[in-house]
Amino acid sequence: MDLHDRSFQRLIMQLEGLFVALVTPFYKGEVNEEKLRELVRFQVESGSQGIVLCGTTGESPTLSWPEICRIFEVVVQEARGKITIVAGTGTNSTAATIEATHKARDLGADMAMVITPYYNKPTQEGLFLHFQAVAQSVDMPLMIYNVPARTGVNLEPPTVERLSELDTIVALKEASGNLDQISEIIGRCADKIRVFSGDDSLFVPVLSVGGVGVVSVVGNLVPRDLCSLYDDFQKSNVSQVLQYQKKLFPLSRSMFFETNPIPVKTALNILGWEVGKLRLPLGDMSKAQEEKLVKVLKGYGLLDQI
């Protein structure tokens, strides 16, 4: 990829602020394309900088390959270049990841998000070689994704630094929850790779150590507030940022009362979005946890709006 290409440089400049890990809406067990379009329009109208498709929040493990391709296609059509589209293409097979990333590029996605291979538990050298193979095989900007609680392997700072030397690896979604590790990564290679918090509750702390944004679950619910928080941070409105942090923190934490995306889809349905049920093996939220979630939604003021 030509790093001096104007479209590439413009994309890099847009890698900041709120990127929403979009849920996948279902109706009677099938992907609800019209609702998906509605969700995309909501994010565009709310000012979100980007959307991430077919990640954990999008229930990617239960989506078939034709469904994933159709989701990419529908969202690209609906977005019409108004928002950065990041396609989740990572698997625990390097060859399959390369194939999926090629397809995402062909269908018009702006970037691909590639998770560390899960279950295999590769070494740091194996992780480097995996991401290097994808980066060298597909002419497309990549966001690498570290979430050790899900995958069983941690992408360590020296490995990220090595990967940042590859031209097409331009961003990192860091969901280790380890602020020291995130700070070390930013210290090593912030000039070459843009670091996003992978945890809503750490959005402000990650910004404070040099991160550029968040890949968000709670952004499915309150994207405008997250965009306002980021704008205030950019303007050094510290007191306003802290107010948003205090307000958002309980809502962000509630998204993990049970396994993501159970709470966020439950919340969306409570708020009238009608995004449908989850696919097995994920099921309905327990009544006790749903009651706790409702209290948080009320506390935030969201239920006053319906």
Residues serving a catalytic function are 145, 173
Handedness of CA 116, 226, 262, 67 (dihedral sign): negative
Q: Give residues with Cβ within 8 angstroms of 280, minimum separation 6.
A: 62
Residue listed under structure tokens 């940022």:
241
Measured distance CA(144)–CA(163) in Å, rounded = 9
Task: Please count the other Cβ atoms lying within 10 Å of the Cβ belonging to residue 18.
Answer: 26
Instruction: Identify the burial level of 232 via C-beta atoms within 10 angstroms of its C-beta, where 0-12 means exposed, 13-18 middle and 19 or more buried.
Output: middle
Measured distance CA(171)–CA(145) in Å, rounded = 9
How many residues comprise the chain? Answer: 306
At 214 the three-state DSSP class reads strand
